[in-house]
Structures are given as C-alpha cells and as structure tokens.
Amino acid sequence: MRKFFSDSNPVIRGLTKLADLMWLNALFIITSLPLFTIGAAASALYYESMRVVQGEEAYITRDFFKAFKNNFKYATIVWIVSAFLLLLFGYTFYILGKSDLSYAHIAMGILGVPIILICFMLLYVFPIMSRFENTLMNTVINALLISLAQFPKTILMLAFSAVPILLVLSSLNWFPLLILGGFAIVAYVNGSFMNKIFEKIQNKENDRQESA
C-alpha cells in the first residue's frame, strides 16, 4: 500500500498533476474575472503549466501569483490593445459581411490578415513573457516571428485552444469541463509544445554565443 501512494507511482503522479491543473484553472478563472487582467492571468497560467509539464516541483499558488505580479504591466498592455484591435477588426469584418459593397469580400480578406496575426501573436506572447525577460516591443515581435516560424504547430495549438470554447458554444453541458480544468489543460498541452520550441531557441542562442 505504501508503494501505491509513493511519488514514483505513475498513477499518483498523474492524479497529482491533474489536481495541480484543476487548481491552476481555478486560479486563472479567479484572476481573470476583472477581464482586463486576463493577460496577466494567462502569463501566470502558462508559467506554471510549463513547469508542470517539465515535472518541476513548485508551490502552485505562490508561484502563480508571483508570475501574475511580475508580468502584470506588460501582459495587461498587450491584452488590452490586442482585445481592442480584435473587437475593432472583428466588428468591421462583420459589417463588411452584411454589406452589399462590391469590394466587401476583398476588404474582408485583407482585414483577416491582421486578425490572424494578432491571434498568432497572442498564442505565444504570454508564454514568452512568463519565461524570458525582454522589452515589450521585442516580446511582441518575437512572439509573432516564432508563431510564423512554427506555423504548423501554431495552427495545431490554435485549433486545440479553440476546442473548449467551441464545445461550450455547442452545448452548455460542456461548461463544467471548462470550469474544472479546460483552460489549464489547453495551457498544459500547448506548454508541452512551447517548452520544446523555447528549448531549441535557447540552444541555438547558446551555440551562437559560444561560436562568437
């Protein structure tokens, strides 16, 4: 019985990881409730999720709020500006779709480009912010460049990120899943990809510095 409850037991490790993700999900939801804090909450969620992926020991609550505080300023700026632009572009896209203008479809195609690029950037910017220290502009630029360089993985992660929301929109029966762990599960799966991406980037940077 003692061996069953040992940390080396894969079942116990899995249950512990699941409990951590459920608690992370609760922390993310609570800190996102003011809405303007979603960016800081996302950076803290990814910071902890990527550590869970790597199996690092951590004090979930303490480390979450530490990351939330450290990234609050930049993450909030990025989130508010991005949300404003997405609402503006999205509303314009909707109006064009309802109009009878001859060039409406062309304009919608052009407008779709910045919408997609903002979504690409948002996917990476908070994980990058939680892991690397840089200026705000460089962080945003790096997020966009990495999203394009990792295009197949970016599409895959975006698609997976949309699954919980689409499930809830299709039926409210899925809402408890979102509350219990949906956001953290997305961050955990995406974080497994991003850990590998960031590790490759760091290795290349280290090799470049050694050869300089």
pLDDT single digits (tens) 124-176: 999 999 988 899 999 999 999 999 999 999 999 999 998 888 887 888 888 88
Rounded distance between C-alpha atoms, residue 39 and residue 126, angstroms: 7
Residue at 70 is within a domain: yes
Average pLDDT over residues 165-192: 86
Domain that holds residue 52: 10-211
Structure tokens at 185: 């599960």
Residue at 47 is within a domain: yes
Please check the confidence at residue 181 and state whether its pLDDT lies above 90.
no
Kindly report the average pLDDT of the chain as a whole number.
88
Cβ pair 118, 85 in contact under 8 A? yes
Q: Mean pLDDT lowest for which of 57-61, 89-93, 106-110?
A: 57-61
Residue at 5 is within a domain: no
Residue at 119 is within a domain: yes
pLDDT of residue 10: 65
Q: Give how many domains the chain has, as a whole number.
A: 1
Residue at 183 is within a domain: yes
Residue type, 93: F
Q: Mean pLDDT lowest for which of 2-11, 98-107, 150-159, 184-193?
A: 2-11
pLDDT of residue 85: 96
pLDDT of residue 154: 96
Residue at 1 is within a domain: no
Q: Which long-range contacts (CB under 8 A, 24 or more apart) does 81-86 make?
A: 82/118, 82/121, 82/122, 83/38, 85/114, 85/118, 86/115, 86/118, 86/119
Cβ pair 111, 95 in contact under 8 A? no
Residue at 185 is within a domain: yes
Residue at 175 is within a domain: yes
